[in-house]
Structures are given as C-alpha cells and as structure tokens.
C-alpha cells in the first residue's frame, strides 16, 4: 500500500517524495498515484458533483489545493474607521487581486422637482445652505478623492449634474463613468478607476444601472449594479419587482458573455430603502423567497403564492464583517435607518474589510446633511479580493 501524506501547503504537495498524496481540505480530496491525480468530492461543492471522480493533471490538482488553502486561510473581514480604510485602499492599489467599491446616495439637488427625492422635504430640519448642490459638491469630491476606491456607485444623480460637472470632475480624479439612461428626475451612476477597469457593457433598468467591468490587467469580468429602489413605505411589492427585474437582467448579461453565475464576481450596491428585516434583503442573501414569505417590515405577504429563486450566492458585506452601524441615512423627522448596502457574490470574491460609515456621537447632534457630510446618506465601502487568480 502506498504511503499517505497529509499536506498543509502547496509546497508540501510539490516537494513530497511519495507518489501517493492524499490531501483533505474542506470538501476536496486529491489522490495522486503513479503521476495520475484523482479529484474526489467528499461533500457537495460548486466545482464538481457530489462523489464524482475524474482524472486531472498534477498542475490542475495543485490549482485546486491552492484554492482550498486560500479558503482555509481566510481571515475574518475587518471593520475600519475611515482613516484606516483609506490606508488599506492605498496599500491595495498596486495589488491586482484586490479592489474596492463605494456606494453613496448623494442627495438630489434642491431644485430637482422629484416628489420622492426632492430635498425640500428636508427644509426646516437642516439649514438650506447644506441642501444646495453648489455648497455640497466640493465636500463630496474631497471624500471620493481621499478614499479613491476602484469603483464608485452614486444614487440620486441628476442628468444635468452628471453632464454639467460630475462627469468631468470624476474624470479629473482618474475615473471614467456611465450614467443611467432615460432617468426621471435622477438616477444611478457608476464610475471606475480607468487604470484598473474598462467598460464591457452597461444596461439601464427602471431603478438600477448595471455595468460589466473588465480588469485592465487580465480582462477579468465583474458585474456591478448601482440601484435606488422605490422609497415609499408601502412599495414592498414594487421594490420586489424592481429587484427581480435586475436579477433577471444580470442572468441575461452573463449568458451573453458566456459566464457562469457563480464564477463571476457580482456586486449589488445602493439605497434599497428597506432594512435587513425586509423581503428584499432576504431574497438576496437566501437566494430567493418562499411562496408563504411575510415581509418583516410591512408584515404583509411578499409575492404571495409564488416561490422565487435566483442563482446568485450573495452576502451582505457589513453583516459578514459583523458590523451594523446605527444608520446610513438620518433625518430629523425620519429617524435613523441602515438602508445602504453592498452585496457581493461569495464563491468569486473574498471580503477583506468594510468602512465604518458613521461617527455616532457626532451625528446625534448634527443631522444630515451638515457642514461635514454633504448628503443625508453616509457612504458605505468595502475592499475585496478575487479568488482563483491566474
């Protein structure tokens, strides 16, 4: 009988003097005998049906061992204050395996005319000077420049502001961008660092902008959606339809690109206008909703009588980091709400860290927007790492 060696690293596998190496890491078992590798799945795994066996080259075996070891060595994601998060982004800037994402509802201008998002509803709560775009924009640009994440997603962007100054200013900061088409009053915009990403495609939905970005270094595709769901408290079913439309379109775009749902990094970010107790949050992190699901916020049946499923394994980045700040949105007459999210697909990316979006003591005394914060929402941001580099 051949000798069995349990390897704790790829070097152990490559340097082992025995021909038979059996490595159990998670659900992966690799058995090399006489230069032939059998790849066995002892449990369910996305890479191979349960119990399947197939012959692979030694290099392929090493690839799977590397993947398993990366998963095994995963560290819990960290929660960083904005200064530490800024340092972490700058440290990761030269690492092609890492990238960062920011999402921010920047608050429509005072004269937008939108019944849903018009900031005149904030008059009487905060000084008018804090609501005017020309008084807020420099603070917003400074924050974006200080953090300089690889991808920046904005909500409540007016087309006149995008065309008038936002696009050019972001270009000066090193970003190219896309604005949601056919917006009513305001919409979503996605900007990306042109040194790290290039645009593959874009698609506008009623409440979302969907873009495909490819890395400049190796053309690796990621899917990013900036969205702003309907805000009325009774719009539960409407938000469900908006999210379902987005998820359906993502599947169509992946088919066009001939990419799988689990292998392609996916990021759904933005202002959901609902909390972690909502059906929207549940449908994202649980892969859908059962037919008898009752929304935790409205206490009403959600999509009654119909089960809904989608193929994307998503996680709430802030919950994964065990961080739920008291709020990301705050208004004197509207209370505090955590309604801004970053969801990411788990098989394709690993969460490294998230930025703590709020200084609670300061915000208790200063409503949003204020002299420091240019919007009634706080930005949320995270740093990720690709799996399976090369």
Spell out the alpha helix ranges (H) of the chain. Answer: 10-15, 58-72, 82-92, 133-147, 159-161, 167-172, 236-257, 279-285, 317-320, 360-365
- 350-361: buried (b, 16+ CB within 10 Å) or exposed (e) per residue? bbbbbbbbbeee
Verify that 124 and 30 share a domain, yes or no.
no
- Rounded to 10°, the helix 133-147/82-92 angle is 50
Per-residue pLDDT at 67: 52
Domain limits for position 119: 78-386
Q: How is residue 167 written in tokens?
A: 């696009």
Match 């924050």 to its residue by tokens.
Answer: 143
Verify that 319 and 177 share a domain, yes or no.
yes
Distance CA 170, CA 161 (A): 12
pTM of the prediction?
0.79
- Domain annotation covers residue 202: yes
Distance CA 136, CA 46 (A): 47
Verify that 227 and 303 share a domain, yes or no.
yes
Long-range CB pairs of 291-298, under 8 A, 24+ apart, other chains included:
295/236, 297/236, 298/233, 298/234, 298/236
Q: What CATH number is attached to the domain comprising 130?
A: 3.60.10.10
- Domain annotation covers residue 2: no
Distance CA 118, CA 279 (A): 26
Verify that 286 and 357 share a domain, yes or no.
yes
- Domain annotation covers residue 4: no
Q: Work out how many domains the chain is built from and give that number.
A: 2
Q: Choose one of 54, 72, 90: the last residue of a domain.
A: 72
Q: Are strands 53-56 and 36-41 parallel, antiparallel or unpaired?
A: antiparallel
Compute CA distances 54 → 28, 43, 44, 322, whole Å.
13, 15, 15, 39
Distance CA 219, CA 200 (A): 10
Compute CA distances 125 → 155, 257, 291, 315, whole Å.
22, 48, 42, 35
Verify that 241 and 294 share a domain, yes or no.
yes
Per-residue model confidence as pLDDT tens for the chain (390 residues): 333 334 333 334 333 332 233 333 334 444 444 444 444 434 444 444 444 334 444 555 555 555 554 554 456 899 998 889 999 999 988 888 999 999 999 998 855 444 455 555 666 677 888 888 989 999 999 999 999 999 999 999 999 899 989 999 999 999 999 999 977 778 999 999 999 999 999 999 989 999 999 999 999 999 999 999 998 878 888 999 999 999 999 999 999 999 988 889 999 999 999 999 899 999 999 999 998 888 888 887 776 678 999 999 999 999 999 877 767 887 655 567 889 999 999 888 999 999 987 665 566 666 788 888 899 899 999 999 998 644
Verify that 250 and 318 share a domain, yes or no.
yes
Per-residue pLDDT at 302: 72
The CB density around residue 287, as the number of other CB atoms within 10 Å, is 14
- Domain annotation covers residue 5: no
Q: How is residue 267 written in tokens?
A: 């990021």
Q: Which residues contact 361 (CB under 8 A, 6 or more apart)?
A: none
């Amino acid at each position: 009988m051949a000798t069995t060696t349990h390897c704790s690293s790829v070097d152990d596998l490559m340097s082992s003097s025995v021909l038979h190496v059996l490595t159990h890491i998670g659900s992966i078992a690799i058995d090399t005998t006489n230069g032939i590798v059998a790849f066995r799945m002892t449990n369910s795994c996305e890479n191979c049906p349960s119990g399947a066996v197939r012959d692979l080259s030694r290099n392929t075996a090493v690839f799977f061992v590397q993947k398993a070891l990366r998963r095994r060595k995963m560290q819990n994601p960290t929660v960083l204050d904005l200064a530490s998060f800024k340092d972490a982004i700058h440290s990761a800037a030269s690492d092609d395996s890492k990238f960062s994402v920011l999402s921010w509802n920047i608050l429509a201008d005072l004269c937008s005319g939108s019944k849903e998002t018009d900031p005149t509803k904030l008059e009487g709560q905060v000084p008018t000077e804090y609501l005017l775009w020309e008084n807020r924009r420099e603070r917003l640009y400074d924050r974006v420049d200080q953090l300089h994440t690889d991808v920046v997603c904005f909500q409540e962007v007016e087309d006149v502001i995008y065309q008038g100054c936002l696009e050019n200013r972001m270009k000066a900061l090193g970003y190219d961008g896309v604005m949601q088409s056919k917006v009513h009053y305001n919409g979503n915009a996605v900007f990306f660092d042109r040194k790290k990403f290039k645009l593959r495609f874009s698609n506008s939905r009623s409440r979302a902008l969907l873009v495909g970005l490819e890395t400049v270094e190796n053309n690796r595709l990621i899917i990013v959606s900036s969205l702003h769901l309907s805000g009325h408290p009774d719009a539960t079913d409407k938000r469900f339809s908006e999210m379902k439309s987005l998820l359906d379109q993502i599947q169509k775009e992946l088919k066009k690109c001939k990419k799988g749902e689990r292998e392609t990094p996916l990021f759904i970010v933005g202002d959901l206008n609902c909390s972690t107790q909502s059906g929207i949050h549940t449908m994202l992190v649980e892969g859908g909703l059962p037919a008898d699901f009752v929304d935790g916020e409205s206490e009403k049946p959600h999509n009654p009588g119909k089960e809904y499923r989608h193929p994307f394994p998503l996680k709430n980045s802030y919950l994964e980091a065990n961080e739920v700040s008291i709020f990301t949105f705050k208004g004197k007459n509207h209370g505090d709400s955590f309604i801004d999210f970053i969801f990411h697909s788990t098989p394709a990316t690993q969460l490294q860290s998230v930025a703590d979006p709020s200084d609670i003591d300061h915000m208790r005394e200063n409503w949003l927007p204020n002299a420091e914060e240019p919007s009634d929402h706080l930005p949320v941001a995270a740093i990720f790492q690709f799996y399976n580099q090369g």
